[in-house]
Amino acid sequence: ADEDSVSVSLPLPSILTSSRESRWNDTNAYGSKKKLQSWLQLPNGDWELVKIITTSADESVISLPNGKVLKVKEDILVPANPDILDGVDDLMQLSYLNEPSVLFNLQYRYNHNMIYTKAGPVLVAVNPFKKVPLYGNDYIEAYKCKAIESPHVYAITDTAIREMIRDEVNQSIVISGESGAGKTETAKIAMQYLAALGGGSGIENEILKTNPILEAFGNGKTLRNDNSSRFGKLIEIHFSEAGKISGANIQTFLLEKSRVVQCNEGERSYHIFYQLCAGAPSSLREKLNLLSVEDYKYLRQSNCFSITGVDDAEEFQIVKEALDVVHISKGDQENVFAMLAAVLWLGNISFTVVDNENHVQAVEDEGLFTVAKLIGCEVEDLKLTLSTRKMKVGNDNIVQKLTLSQAIDARDALAKSIYACLFDWLVEQINKSLAVGKRRTGRSISILDIYGFESFNRNSFEQFCINYANERLQQHFNRHLFKLEQEEYIQDGIDWAKVEFEDNQDCLNLFEKKPLGLLSLIDEESTFPNGTDLTFANKLKQHLNSNSCFKGEREKAFTVRHYAGEVTYDTTGFLEKNRDLLHLDSIQLLSSSKCHLPKLFASHMLTQSEKPVVGPLHKSGGADSQKLSVATKFKGQLFQLMQRLESTSPHFIRCIKPNNLQSPGSYEQSLVLQQLRCCGVLEVVRISRSGFPTRVSHQKFARRYGFLLLENVASQDPLSVSVAILHQFNILPEMYQVGYTKLFFRTGQIGMLEDTRNRT
C-alpha cells in the first residue's frame, strides 16, 4: 500500500552508474561460491540439473539427480535459475537466459500441459500432439474478461483486437515454425477467438469454413505431418467500426505443384483426391468415371492411401458443405470435381513408341478418352498435344514429335497447371464470397501461416524460396523487436545505444542484389537456351564467392549462410522449376475446351505470359508460354506481403515441434533447441541479453531485497534503498542501469541476489 505514496525522484544515471572499484571484480567468483545448482551437459548433448556441493579453485563437486557425486571443472557448468523461477510463463523472467534454462523452462511447462510460454513479446507454442484442455468457449470467455492471464493464442489474439481498436492500427499475427510444429492449428485457434469476439453477422462462419476447403486442396500427408500445408497463407480479417467481422481476404503463396504428379513413398498427394474417390456419390462417380485411389497412377506411386484416424469420405462431405457455405454453386462444385478427375486420369495416360527415334504417341485408351471428355476437348487434339510440339522456324510452323520423357513431362506439366489454376480459382471464389461490404472501415487483423525455415539433407528450389522468405520475415521480426526494446529504454531514460543489434541484411543482399544476386542470376540463366543447372551453379561461384554469406560447393551445389544456419542447395532442377513452363500447345488445348473452367484457366495462363518474360528464348522463335519466373513472382508476392505486414502492428507466434514422431509426451531437447535457434526465439533472447532484459520496479526491488541491507539507509524511498542494495552487493555499473521507474539488469544479476536471499 505504501508503494503508491512513495515519490520517485528522478535519478541521475551517470552518478549511479559511475565506475567504482568492485570488491568482487570477478562476478563469476561470486557466482561459483554461492550458486546452488547448475546445468551439466551430458555426452548425448542433453542438459541435466545438478546440485553443487562444494567449489574450490576451478573445480566443483556436484551431485547428479541419480545421487551420483562427481568432480568437474567449474567452467563446464552453466548457471541454473533458482527454483522459484521454475516454469515461469515468460522466459524473460529467467535470471539466467542460457540455452539449458530456456529448454528446461519450456519442458517444465510442456509436462504440465502449459504448451504456451512467452519469450518477451513472442509467444512460443509447443505442439502437444494431443487434446489439451485449453480451448473452447469457457476459455475464450475467460481470456476475454482477463480472468486468465497465462500465455495463450487467445491472449495474443485478444491483445491484437484491443490494439486494433485502441490504436486504430491494423494488426498481424505471424506464425512460424517447422512442418508439423502446429502453425495451421494455431492459426485456426486464433481465428476461433476472432470469430467468437467479432462474430454476429454470420460471415465468421464462412471464414472458418475456408479452413477445411484450403486444407483439402492445399494440404497432404508428408513424412513430417499427416496434414501438411503445401502453401503459405495470409488471411486478412476485416472489422467494422463496432469491432465486428465484416469480411476477409485470403492470399496464398507458392503451392507445391509437384505433389500432384509425384510424391515420396509413404506420403500422399492433396487430400481432396482421396476424399473425392472415397466420398463421391454414385451419380458423380459415373459422370466422372471415378475409380478408387489404388487405380490412379499419381496416387498409387507413393504406396500410401489412407491416414490413421481420418475418414476421407466423411471429410468429403465436410468439404462439400464448406463449399456451399462460401457460395460455390453445385454446378461449379461439379466442375471442380471434374477437373480433379481429369488430373487423376491424366496420370493414367500412357504412351507407345512409334518410330525408331523413340518418338511416342498417347495410347487411345480409357485414360485418353476420359480426360478428353472431362476437359471438354477433342480426343485427337489431346493426343496431339501430348505427343507433339508445334514450333516456329523462320516463317514456317513445324511439328516436332516428342520422346517418351518429353511426353511424360508435357502430360505432368498439364496436370500440375490444371491443379494450380484450380487452387487459385477456388481462392478467388472464396475471396469473392468473403469480400468486404461497402461499410468497411479498413481495420483488419491478418494471420500469416507460412512455412518455416527448412534445412534437409538435400535442399532444392523449394527450400531456396522458403528460406529466402524466412530471411525476409526474420528481418521484419528483428526490426520490430529492436524497436520495442528501444522504445522501452527511451521511455525509462536508458541509454539504449548499449544494445547491440545484428541484422541479416547481408544475406538478403545475397538474394536480392541486382544484377549479381542469387535471384537475378537464376533468372538470367533461366532465359539462356543453353543454361543448365551446372552452368547456373558455376555462374554463382564466379560472381558470388566474395560474398560472406555464400560458399561455392563441389559440382552443382552451393551453400548459403542463413540467419538460422548454413544450408547447402543442390541446383538440380532449379532452372526447370524456376521456368515452370507449360507448352503453348497445352494452353491452346484448354482454350479450345467446351467447358467453363478449362477455358478460364487457359486465359489465365495466357495473361500471365504477357507479363515481362523469363523463359528460354527458343532458338526457333519460342513456342513456349513465356512468363514470369517462379522466383521473380515469389519475390513480388513476398515484397507485397512485407509491405502489408510493415503497415501493421505485429504479434509473433513461434511453434515448436517437441519430437519427430508426432506423438505426445516426448520432448527431445536437441530438436527443440535447434528450432528455437531457427525460429529466432534464441535470437530474441540474445537481443535481450545484449541489453538489460531483467526489469524490476524500484519498489519491487527495494521490497524484495531491502532486508539484506547491513546498514540503515538515510532515506527510505525505494530508489535510495535500491541503490544502497546495488552498492552493498557491488553490482558492477555496466551490469545495470537505473531508469525513471525501473532498474534494468543484464542477465544473471538478479539470480545472484536471489541465491543470496534464499540463503539468508
**Active-site residue numbers?**
179-180, 184, 225, 228-229, 452, 454
Contact assessment for residue 466 and residue 714, using Cβ atoms and an 8 Å cutoff? no
Q: How far is the CB of 230 from ligand ATP (least distance, A)?
A: 8
Q: How far is the CB of 229 from Mg ion (least distance, A)?
A: 3
Residue 621 or residue 665: which is nearer to ligand ATP going by CB? 665
Cell of 298: 499419381
192 contact, one of Mg ion, ligand ATP, none, CB 5-8 Å limit per kind: none
To which residue does cell 545505444 refer? 497
Q: Which residues contact 524 (CB under 8 A, 6 or more apart)?
A: 515, 539
Helix extents (H) in 557-595: 574-579, 584-591
128 contact, one of ligand ATP, Mg ion, none, CB 5-8 Å limit per kind: ligand ATP
Q: What's the CA gap between 382 and 362, in Å, rounded?
A: 9
Amino acid at site 72: V
Q: How far is the CB of 175 from ligand ATP (least distance, A)?
A: 8
177 contact, one of ligand ATP, Mg ion, none, CB 5-8 Å limit per kind: ligand ATP
Residue 175 or residue 518: which is nearer to Mg ion going by CB? 175
179 contact, one of Mg ion, ligand ATP, none, CB 5-8 Å limit per kind: ligand ATP
692 contact, one of ligand ATP, Mg ion, none, CB 5-8 Å limit per kind: none
Q: Which residues of this chain interact with Mg ion, rule CB under 5 A?
A: 183-184, 229
Q: What's the CA gap between 393 and 262, in Å, rounded?
A: 34
Q: How far is the CB of 749 from ligand ATP (least distance, A)?
A: 36
The whole-angstrom distance between residue 154's C-alpha and the CA centroid of its chain comes to 19
Q: What's the CA gap between 122 and 484, in Å, rounded?
A: 12
In DSSP terms, which residues pair with 567 in a beta bridge?
A: 560
Q: What's the CA gap between 571 and 560, in Å, rounded?
A: 13
Residue 93 or residue 229: which is nearer to ligand ATP going by CB? 229
Q: Which residues contact 511 (CB under 8 A, 6 or more apart)?
A: 468, 471, 517, 518, 519
Q: How far is the CB of 144 from ligand ATP (least distance, A)?
A: 19
127 contact, one of ligand ATP, Mg ion, none, CB 5-8 Å limit per kind: ligand ATP
Q: Which of 511, 479, 503, 486 is nearest to 646 (CA)?
A: 479
29 contact, one of ligand ATP, Mg ion, none, CB 5-8 Å limit per kind: none
Residue 187 or residue 724: which is nearer to ligand ATP going by CB? 187
Q: What's the CA gap between 118 and 281, in Å, rounded?
A: 48
Residue 11 or residue 180: which is nearer to ligand ATP going by CB? 180
180 contact, one of Mg ion, ligand ATP, none, CB 5-8 Å limit per kind: ligand ATP
59-63 and 47-56: which strand pairing? antiparallel
Cell of 388: 507433339
Q: How many residues does the chain have?
A: 760
Residue 183 or residue 627: which is nearer to Mg ion going by CB? 183
Contact assessment for residue 208 and residue 198, using Cβ atoms and an 8 Å cutoff? no
Q: How far is the CB of 264 from Mg ion (least distance, A)?
A: 18
Q: What's the CA gap between 277 and 337, in Å, rounded?
A: 10
Residue 181 or residue 469: which is nearer to ligand ATP going by CB? 181
Q: How far is the CB of 150 from ligand ATP (least distance, A)?
A: 15
To which residue does cell 544475406 refer? 507
Q: What are phi and psi of 128, to 5 degrees?
A: -80, -15
Residue 471 or residue 533: which is nearer to ligand ATP going by CB? 471
Residue 180 or residue 680: which is nearer to ligand ATP going by CB? 180
Q: What is the 3-state secondary structure (H, E, C) of 138-174?
A: HHHHHHHCCCCCCCCHHHHHHHHHHHHHHHCCCEEEE
132 contact, one of Mg ion, ligand ATP, none, CB 5-8 Å limit per kind: ligand ATP
Q: How far is the CB of 415 from Mg ion (least distance, A)?
A: 24
Q: What is the DSSP letter of 514?
A: S
Q: What's the CA gap between 650 and 445, in Å, rounded?
A: 9
**Helical (H) or strand (E) element with 53:** strand 47-56
Q: Which residues of this chain interact with ligand ATP, rule CB under 6 A?
A: 127-129, 131-132, 177, 179-185, 225, 227-229, 451, 655
68 contact, one of ligand ATP, Mg ion, none, CB 5-8 Å limit per kind: none
Q: How far is the CB of 184 from Mg ion (least distance, A)?
A: 3
Amino acid at site 253: F
Q: Give the three-class secondary structure for 483.
A: helix
Q: What are phi and psi of 313, to 5 degrees?
A: -65, -40
Q: How far is the CB of 662 from Mg ion (least distance, A)?
A: 13
Q: Which of 677, 588, 694, 609 is nearest to 120 (CA)?
A: 694
Q: Give the three-class secondary structure for 172.
A: strand
Q: Which residues contact 293 (CB under 8 A, 6 or more apart)?
A: 273, 274, 277, 278, 299, 300, 305
Contact assessment for residue 511 and residue 471, using Cβ atoms and an 8 Å cutoff? yes
Q: What's the CA gap between 182 and 655, in Å, rounded?
A: 6
Residue 592: how many CA atoms within 13 Å on its side-chain side? 15
Residue 176 or residue 388: which is nearer to Mg ion going by CB? 176
Amino acid at site 175: I
In DSSP terms, which residues pair with 694 in a beta bridge?
A: 745
The whole-angstrom distance between residue 250's C-alpha and the CA centroid of its chain comes to 17
101 contact, one of Mg ion, ligand ATP, none, CB 5-8 Å limit per kind: none
Residue 476: how many CA atoms within 13 Å on its side-chain side? 26
Q: How far is the CB of 293 from Mg ion (least distance, A)?
A: 23
Residue 120 or residue 180: which is nearer to Mg ion going by CB? 180
